[in-house]
Amino acid sequence: MNIIKIMDHLSDSELLNKKGSRRDSFDQLRTLGKNLAVASIPFGLAATSSKTRAATMAMPASFMMASPTEILNFALALEYLERNFYQMGLDTSGLIPSEDQAVFAQISKHETSHVDFLLAALGDDAIEEPTFDFTGAPGGLNLDTFSNYQTFMALAQGFEDTGVRAYKGQAGGLIDDDALLTYALQIHSVEAQHASQVRRMRGEKGWITKSENTLPSAFDAIYQGSTPESNLTQGGVNLSGMFNSVGGDKAVTESFDEPLTMDEVNAIASIFIV
């Protein structure tokens, strides 16, 4: 059974309307977000005065967590990016082989559901959708994304791996809102399943082995960050050399996904936003 099929429930249009308490929670979120908002810095995405709201993401001072509104807008920017990427890929004739069309159509469906969900959660506080350039030209790249299927696949893997680490990095900011934390983690787990599926389609393992990364060097930032995916220390314990009989240090790096900060994710995303 295709792994993507088990995610269909997230595309259910009734998801946003099942319980009135969710709407109440979103209203509380908007109020809380306005009250907790702190210093803002440019999102690093783009642009013109008409896109200021889309190009500016709220960031807290270094000693504070971002507010729920800031975190959900951060997630929304990533979901906008992924939704547009997959839709453009599906709309490009001859790019995706017929045997892979159903998988990417399903992933695209999930990303659209994620965008719709976050827009409902944020209401009037939602950022506008940025303009994307998936050649990476804004960041100095010149990728043949929609004329070379291998490039498209590599970028899909990079975006999904970034999304997993991005959600992990911000989960703590939703700790006081059980409903929103639950929904964010539901999206997080689906992004991880997307990443695993795309990796296997590329002939890789379903999890990250930093030393075996096959993406172009332009994607290195995805696996770096303040705590890189090559990290061997967990909970203050250095695990290097402790599991040589069951995969060694490679197995250690595969066993833990590391978070990315907002700044680190924004730097990656800005490469693809006009």
216 or 6, higher pLDDT: 216
Per-residue pLDDT tens digits for 177-198: 777 777 777 888 788 888 889 9
CA atoms within 13 A on the CB side of 189: 9
Give the model's pLDDT for residue 210: 61
Give the model's pLDDT for residue 47: 30
Q: How far apart are CA 153 and CA 256, in angstroms?
A: 23
Q: What is the mean pLDDT of residues 231-244?
A: 87
Q: Binning pLDDT at 50, 70 and 90, where does residue 24 land?
A: low
Q: What angle do CA 185, 186, 188 make, to 5 degrees?
A: 60
Residues 6+ apart with CB under 8 A from 26: 120, 121, 122, 123
Total-model pTM: 0.70
Q: Binning pLDDT at 50, 70 and 90, where does residue 220 land?
A: confident
Portion of the chain with pLDDT greater than 90, in percent: 33
Structure token pair of residue 231: 């990290």
Q: How far apart are CA 70 and CA 37, in angstroms?
A: 8
- With 70 as the cut, is the pLDDT of residue 23 above it? no
Q: Which residue has the tokens 């995610």?
A: 7
Q: What is the mean pLDDT of residues 219-247?
A: 81
Give the model's pLDDT for residue 124: 95
Of 16-30, 233-247, 260-274, the poorest mean pLDDT is in 16-30
Per-residue pLDDT tens digits for 72-131: 899 999 999 999 999 999 999 999 999 999 999 999 999 999 999 999 989 999 999 999
DSSP helix/strand/coil, 12: coil
* 240: Cα separation from own chain's centroid: 29
Most confidently predicted of 9-18, 57-66, 154-163: 154-163
